[in-house]
Amino acid sequence: MTEVMEKPQQDARAATQDFDVLIVGAGISGIGSAYHLKTQNPDKTFAILEAKENIGGTWDTHKYPGVRSDSDLYTFGYRFKPWVGPPIATAEEIRKYLRDVLAENDLDQAIRFGTLITRCSWSTADKRWTVETKRADGSAGPTYRATFLWMCQGYYDHHNPYLPDWAGMADYKGQLIHAQKWDDSVDYSGKDVVVIGSGATAATVIPVLADKAKHVTMLQRSPTYFYCYPNRSDLADRLREIGVDEDTVHRCVRLDYLHNLKMLDRRAREEPDLVFDELKELIRQYAGPDFEFEPHFTPRYRPWQQRLAFIPDGDMFERIRDGKVTAITDTIDHFTADGIKLASGDELKADIVMAATGFNLLMMGGIEFEVDGKVVDWSEKATYRGMMFEGVPNMVWVFGYFRAAWTLRVDLLGDFVCRMLRHMDEKGAQEVNIVIPPALSAEPLMPWIEDDNFNPSYLVRDMDKLPKRLGDQPEWRHTQDYWREAVDIPAIDLEGAEFSYS
């Protein structure tokens, strides 16, 4: 086996632009889906269309110091490829893992880089999708055709992060940069840095900045829950010590993380105060026994209503203990020439302001969709299990989990799509559609997810752009419940009334 280059050679591409399946995106979802297709349905022809010049999606876009996962890689990694490093991984380690999957399975030649999809049009007469593309320089790219679209384009805009329009931004003489736009040219040595935000990105970048900066201030509108834990798995270490093979280690440690996560998820709903007490105790191990949680580290929501920010080895709290990092809870009134004037009247001086303010949701990678000449408005579409859509044939969207690792759903849906494609072949069907049962046809279309279920700002801001759920039945929504879906999705009856074939 040879390790592939970040951008594999493309000269072996087939002359034809017709495929059975087109996979959109070469991030962790697209690469995992390609693996499943190739190994489970080896007769299918396919290509992966990727707008960027590199693999990795999220793990290529983000380049701020210390960028790393906040899920453990035993569950964020695939079911089929053992993770052998510490549970929390850097972006580079994740990209290396993905490159290995491509090389080990001869998948690298399937990727068409620099191929931005602009429009996908379904023709019922032809039983095909036509996929129009643009090259990186903006010129028209090849047109592809496929019977099935496997959408792995993620959920946010890789080019335009969310940056609020604060008053006075133009007056600021320092450097204001969004975390998603950060690159190596930013020199923060000896500087006063303010990081706006307190989510996973802020928690990741702050300890690394603090090592070279003069001082780092974490400016948050409201506090976040943090989960501090050593970046190692005792179970993995022990299994390796006694000679267990990596496949088995991966399976056992994955089950261990899933079990613990399930317990945490249940307990966070049933006994949120006790869970918070335990999270505080873990933080004290790094921040010191007298660490003060009021007002900057006592959130207003219950644990798990937003993703818990994991802090491996408590690194951010060690920097707070050492006086290198200060947390402030306030709102920005306006920018000044030297920094930020807060609503409280205080002023923060800053040489550099990093906005860790999150992303803008982007439905289906900004691609325009048409079915038989009619434009698809996703916000009016009912979803089947958060993966297929009424009125949009032969298409699946891989939208992962928020509270558990995203990738768990890549494996689950990978099995499902491959099974569905085989089923269609056995029936001689060329088209599959989602049918809403008559009993549900009068149900109102509801937002993708309830506000009190999971409510990070980027979802709340753009919830109206997302497809809709039909009531509360698990078949007609994205449940965000891995444990339920791990049982339900493999058991889906493909001859059930919700599928129609032709």
Distance CA 82, CA 305 (A): 30
Q: Does 149 bind ligand FAD (CB under 6 A)?
A: no
Q: Does 395 bind ligand FAD (CB under 6 A)?
A: no
* CB distance 424 to 430 below 8 Å: yes
Among 19, 36, 46, 52, binds ligand FAD (CB under 6 A): 52
Q: How far is the CB of 76 from ligand FAD (least distance, A)?
A: 5
* CB distance 361 to 194 below 8 Å: no
Q: Which stretch binds ligand FAD (CB under 6 A): 39-47, 64-72, 271-279, 295-303?
A: 64-72
Among 98, 116, 325, 356, binds ligand FAD (CB under 6 A): 116
Among 57, 114, 312, 467, binds ligand FAD (CB under 6 A): 57
Q: Which stretch binds ligand FAD (CB under 6 A): 21-29, 99-107, 189-197, 444-452?
A: 21-29
Structure tokens at 34: 């390609």
Among 4, 8, 23, 30, binds ligand FAD (CB under 6 A): 30
* Residue 207 half-sphere exposure toward CB, CA atoms < 13 A: 20
For residue 449, the cross-strand partners are: none
Q: How far is the CB of 306 from ligand FAD (least distance, A)?
A: 13
Q: For the chain, how big is the Rg over CA atoms in Å?
A: 23
CA distances from 205 to 202, 216, 231, 289, 320 (A): 5, 10, 16, 24, 13
Q: Does 29 bind ligand FAD (CB under 6 A)?
A: yes
Q: Does 49 bind ligand FAD (CB under 6 A)?
A: yes
CA distances from 501 to 125, 133, 234 (A): 14, 29, 49
Write each residue from 345 to 384 as x if it is in contact with ligand FAD (CB under 6 A), else as -, in one continuous string: --------------------xxx-----------------
H, E, C per residue of 24-89: ECCCHHHHHHHHHHHHHCCCCCEEEECCCCCCCCHHHHCCCCCCECCCCHHHHCCCCCCCCCCCCC
Q: How far is the CB of 244 from ligand FAD (least distance, A)?
A: 26
Which residue's CB is nearer to ligand FAD, number 118 or number 175? 118
Q: Does 485 bind ligand FAD (CB under 6 A)?
A: no
Q: Does 201 bind ligand FAD (CB under 6 A)?
A: yes
Q: How many residues bind ligand FAD (CB under 6 A)?
A: 31
Q: Does 8 bind ligand FAD (CB under 6 A)?
A: no
Which residue's CB is nearer to ligand FAD, number 58 or number 329? 58
**Three-state DSSP class for residue 292:** coil
Which residue's CB is nearer to ligand FAD, number 197 or number 223? 197
Distance CA 204, CA 316 (A): 8
Peptide bond into 295 cis (omega under 30): yes
CA distances from 24 to 224, 355, 382 (A): 33, 29, 21
Helix axes 246-270, 272-287, angle to 10 degrees: 120
Which residue's CB is nearer to ligand FAD, number 158 or number 296? 158
Q: Residue with structure tokens 């002359």?
A: 15
Which residue's CB is nearer to ligand FAD, number 268 or number 348? 268
Among 36, 158, 385, 469, binds ligand FAD (CB under 6 A): 158
Cβ neighbors of 337 (< 8 A, separation 6 or more) are 171, 172, 173
Q: Does 50 bind ligand FAD (CB under 6 A)?
A: yes
Q: Does 152 bind ligand FAD (CB under 6 A)?
A: yes
Distance CA 392, CA 302 (A): 37
Q: How far is the CB of 206 from ligand FAD (least distance, A)?
A: 14
Q: Does 480 bind ligand FAD (CB under 6 A)?
A: no
Q: Which residues bind ligand FAD (CB under 6 A)?
A: 24-30, 49-52, 57-58, 62, 69-71, 76, 116-117, 152-154, 158, 201, 365-367, 400, 405-406
